[in-house]
Amino acid sequence: MGLPEVKADGAEALLARHPAPTKGARWAEEMREKAVASLRAMGAPVGRDEYWKYTDPRPLTADTAEAAVLKVDEAPVFGEVDRLKLVFVDGIFDPAQSDDLALSGVEIEHLSDALATDIHWAKDVFGVLEARGQDPVPRPMAALNTAVASVGVAIRVTGKAAKPISLRYLHENPTSDAVIHHVIKVEEGAEVTLLENGPAAARFNKCMEVEVADRATFHHVRAQGRDHERLAATHMFTRLGTESVFKSFTLTVNGVLTRNEAVIEFTGDDAQAHIAGASAGDGAFHHDDTVFITHDAVNCESRQVFKKVLRNGAKGAFQGKILVKAGAQKTDGYQISQGLMLDDDSQFLAKPELEIYADDVACSHGSTVGAVDEDALFYLTSRGVPRVDAQGMLVLAFIDEAIQEIEDAALADEIRERLGAWLERHRAV
């Protein structure tokens, strides 16, 4: 059987394994139909696809999810933050553990309710940003999500949100296979902080579409961790208006396979987008950050900062592209991806890219991989710091450039504390 047939059969298998989504309004059904057609046209992902060559998609496309051992829950990340909490258990919204949906400056609905409404603001976002993000790189797992997801929230921010919105994903069924889709629109001049944490499911497919209007601000901080055997494929599609701000940070520890995709499009002048990630893996750990940023407006700034710490055969991958279209003058694009190997068995794979069609730009990218600096270790140990503690200090310092992208100092400190605790549990002896 040839590759096209394998991909086509794989797409049909992906669609067949999920029940038909809740029936919605005609516009929602049309977007789902387009997503199905898109998935069938591109086929399921396979290892020979250019943007899957570093990550084996088979665990994500298999007929059933492998059982993921449940770990005793730690104190929840962001547990001390005053926030509006929305809880999902194995991909199902849990009202008993969630707060009331009312929040000053914000309108929150269940995705199924929004998609069932004939006239709704979500019509301009749901499936629209995901479809735009399919060109020039196909993203079949995102198309699958739009086609089948019924669970999620629709969030419209109309002012400055009174407090952060927290999406907490709990995992209770060892073989759960969850699909969640969120739609977010931050109206002109509005501002919101979105927090996400939790293992979610044995296998998790999540898609988030974020429209940031003119002079609006969206902050996003995510922590992925706890259950080590979980699988996850997440997607974030963002469109930015004039003078808008988008900042996203993700911490990933544990997880046998995690692929986080982000597609960001500048459509308004003088906007900025910062996306950062820190990951730490030990043993059977594969983490993939795939980012595509399109500059299609004047005087916009983008930053990509990704740091990975790997040991005992763990693997990390980064694929990041900055596309500057003709006319997107005065673009400032920065991209850095770095891997820190704590042994000789781990692997870091990177594919940084720049594609520029404007002449008045400042764009740079860099990628490095190496071990802990022995001179720095010697300096610390010669002053009485035990070697294992010195290594931990240097690892935290290495990652901190990514953590500094978090706007809220208290949230940044909590991320540092969580990362430090993970390193303490996995410290070399």
Select from 425, 410, 403, 424 the least CA-distant residue to 77: 410
pLDDT grade for 225, boundaries at 50, 70 and 90: confident
Select from 89, 207, 110, 196 the least CA-distant residue to 153: 110
Instruction: Report pLDDT digits (tens) over 283-326.
Output: 999 999 999 999 999 999 999 999 999 999 999 999 999 999 99
Task: Give mean pLDDT, residues 111-118.
Answer: 97
Global pTM reads: 0.96
Question: What is the Cα gyration radius of the chain?
Answer: 21
Select from 52, 47, 156, 64 the least CA-distant residue to 101: 156
The 10 Å Cβ neighbour count of residue 301 is: 18
Is residue 328 within 8 Å of residue 295, measured between CB atoms?
A: yes
pLDDT grade for 429, boundaries at 50, 70 and 90: very low
pLDDT grade for 87, boundaries at 50, 70 and 90: very high
- How far apart CA 414 and CA 425 sit, in angstroms, is 17
- How far apart CA 339 and CA 249 sit, in angstroms, is 17
